[in-house]
A and B are shown apart, each in its own frame.
Chain A
Amino acid sequence: MKAVSRVEGPVSTLLRDDIDTDVIIPKQFLKLVQRTGFGPYAFYDWREDPAWDLPSRPILVTGANFGCGSSREHAVWALADYGFAAIVAPSFGDIFRTNCMKNGLLPVRVPQEIRDQIAEAGEAAVDLRAGTVAWAGSSYPLDYPDEARRRLVHGLDDVAVTLESEDAIAAYEGRRDTTMPRTKAGRA
């Protein structure tokens, strides 16, 4: 994953709550076996609306429970490909938020009134090293666990990091409850 430590610039606003991943990237695009090039399909059905206006800018400011629903990571790839590098919202779907972090698209959870201030300000800066989101002379702390922040800032490959714990994993397997089922042994 590429390292990311700071995102700044103007915001695009889409102030609706409960925007689900089906809306962000409709199912027909999940058949594409690739991780890139989904930007043109983001909000595919909503784009039909003549009033639709969502400029490609570094930061998306949006509503509560953003990215709820399906675990499709394509939603993150589509938003990143569309041009967003950070998303500010009062809350996120849990799996979507994790998917964002795995792809260096920064989810920024702030109370609704702060969200409104950032939308109003029209631009903001998310700084992982400082651990803040800043706008119009104000700032608010990011709620990232230290480990997640470290991986983003250094662009670490999650699998590689975990594989460094090979000894601990092997030790766990040595003491693991072996009464748990296996998928082989004539079952599959």
Chain B
Amino acid sequence: MGQTLVEKIWAAHEVEPGLLYVDLHLLHDLGGPLAFEGLKAAGRPVRRPDLTLATADHNVPTDGVTRSAQIDDELSRVQVGLLEAGCAEFGIPLHSMGAPQQGIVHVIGPELGLTQPGMTIVCGDSHTSTHGAFGALAFGIGVSEVEHVLATQCVVQERPRTMRIRYVGDLPFGTTAKDLALHTIGRIGTSGAAGHVVEYAGPAIEALTMEGRMTLCNMTIEAGGRAGLIAPDAMTLDWIDRHGGTVDDARGRLATDGDAEFDREVEIDAREVTPQVTWGTTPEMVAGVLDRVPEPRTEAERRALDYMGLEPGTRLVDVAIDRVFIGSCTNGRLSDLRHAAELIAGRAVAPNVRAMVVPGSMRVRRAAEAEGLDAIFTEAGFEWRGAGCSMCLGMNADTLDPGERCASTSNRNFEGRQGRGGRTHLVSPEMAAAAAVTGHFVDVRDWRRS
């Protein structure tokens, strides 16, 4: 019997049963300092600094300050400072504040040509699944495991179960990878892929851009998946080539064998995807933009509607918003900003709405500026910020106030995620841009037709 892509990558990396070698270890300001401290306490070196890369993203202000010493918030300043000191001490390459390649860890890996097919990639961050878009086995780990990887370049893993989500048909006009991801989570649920590595397949996947594939793989974790990945193809190799990497031919052709078996197979009709808006406090509480807020079926849904301040039966297009956030490792890449800018060009942000764009990396920011996207955003009334995680999790100054309602291109609408009492609706960049202009959700398909 043949092997799945995941099984092939797994087999190529098993040092011993259950012990996997790590080809690329990404670090950031939240986990890095704690892991360094553990290493130092045990007197252990970093085994492979040349397979490790760090960046400052979670804590960094996006107001333009370029040095960690300038961060107002004392705890953030200390944390980023400790990351810088630890990287210097252990010889780990770092893109910290002010560096030209600084950005969200999952945005810069692919940008630097480091994320490639057939690799194992780990990071102390759940959205490491993003890198699976390149045919890598990439998954999030905890701080204890980060320390373990720094010391040994290996990670102890239970063999994951495999799952394939195969899409039938093409994505309809006016819908995006984000809508595909949210629609999928709505179908299979927040634990629909628990314990599994998901391979995405089908014509809708082949047609997605690399950025779209990253968006989809990124959200795998919101369906409970350990990782998500897509077999590499010509588009994958082209991206890497354009970003300064070279890929061995054999790795560039990695794929699941025709007779391989998955532990689970799910089929989803991509033709049914519509622009999606979440209405609750988990990503599975999602509906099409033309739908209404549903009647709660469970206690959890009742709680969610209460937290979100929504009445069942309300049309989603009638839900007014206060804030808009375009950014994050889900939708903070250049094409995301392009698509949002297309919709707002010549329009203005609604008077009662505060909208911000936070590019996923400084490189995305520069590329967007070279195309004049910053001017489109600022003329429309958006704030144009520095790169980082920002209001995806609100660890810097960019947060929602209690009760504020936000159209956000990020990946989690959990209670308090973007600020205590804040209400998050997950949408695509296009939907967020349109909502910024009108002050409520709209069906972007209408705008795109006109």
**Contacting B191 at CB < 8 Å: which of A65, A102, A158?**
A65
Does A47 have its Cβ within 8 Å of any Cβ on chain B?
Answer: no
Known: A26-B420, A68-B190, A91-B191. 11 other contacts (CB 8 A): A16-B303, A18-B300, A26-B416, A45-B416, A70-B393, A71-B124, A71-B141, A91-B194, A103-B144, A169-B153, A181-B114
Per-residue interface assignment for chain B, residues 34 to 55, with 1 indicating a CB less than 8 Å from any chain A CB and 0 otherwise: 1001000010100001111100
- Given the contacts A65-B194, A98-B145, A179 and B251 also touching, CB distance less than 8 Å: yes
Does B423 have its Cβ within 8 Å of any Cβ on chain A?
Answer: no
B79 and A33 form a contact (CB under 8 A) = yes
A183 and B50 form a contact (CB under 8 A) = yes
Stretch at the interface among B241-249, B348-356, B357-365: B241-249
B126 and A69 form a contact (CB under 8 A) = yes
Does B113 have its Cβ within 8 Å of any Cβ on chain A?
Answer: yes
Stretch at the interface among A4-12, A53-61, A126-134, A159-167: A159-167
Q: How far is the CA of A177 from the CA of B248 in the complex (A)?
A: 9
A180 and B191 form a contact (CB under 8 A) = no
Does A172 have its Cβ within 8 Å of any Cβ on chain B?
Answer: yes
Does A30 have its Cβ within 8 Å of any Cβ on chain B?
Answer: yes
**Contacting A22 at CB < 8 Å: which of B152, B190, B412?**
B412
Q: How far is the CA of A185 from the CA of B50 in the complex (A)?
A: 8
Q: How far is the CA of A177 from the CA of B247 in the complex (A)?
A: 11
Stretch at the interface among B12-20, B258-266, B378-386, B439-447: B12-20
**Contacting B76 at CB < 8 Å: which of A31, A148, A188?**
A31
| Chain A, interface SS category | loop
- Given the contacts A17-B300, A169-B152, A181-B113, A176 and B21 also touching, CB distance less than 8 Å: yes
Does B59 have its Cβ within 8 Å of any Cβ on chain A?
Answer: yes
A95 and B140 form a contact (CB under 8 A) = yes
Q: How far is the CB of A159 from chain B (nearest CB, A)?
A: 5
Most A Cβ at <10 Å: residue of B79, B118, B194, B226: B194
Q: Which of A99-156 contact B (CB under 8 A)?
A: 99, 102-103, 145, 147-148
Return chain A residues, CB-CB under 8 Å to B76. Answer: 31
Return chain B residues, CB-CB under 8 Å to A176. Answer: 21
B78 and A95 form a contact (CB under 8 A) = no
Per-residue interface assignment for chain B, residues 133 to 177, with 1 indicating a CB less than 8 Å from any chain A CB and 0 otherwise: 000000111111101100111101010000000000000000000
Q: Which of A39-66 contact B (CB under 8 A)?
A: 45, 64-65
Q: What are 24 of the A-B contact pairs (CB < 8 Å)?
A: A45-B416, A69-B221, A71-B125, A71-B142, A72-B142, A94-B195, A95-B142, A99-B143, A99-B144, A159-B148, A162-B152, A165-B15, A168-B16, A169-B153, A177-B118, A180-B116, A182-B50, A183-B24, A183-B51, A185-B50, A187-B244, A188-B53, A188-B93, A188-B94
A73 and B21 form a contact (CB under 8 A) = no
Q: How far is the CB of B311 from chain A (nearest CB, A)?
A: 22
Q: How far is the CB of A60 from chain B (nearest CB, A)?
A: 18
Return chain B residues, CB-CB under 8 Å to A162. Answer: 19, 148, 151-152, 154, 156
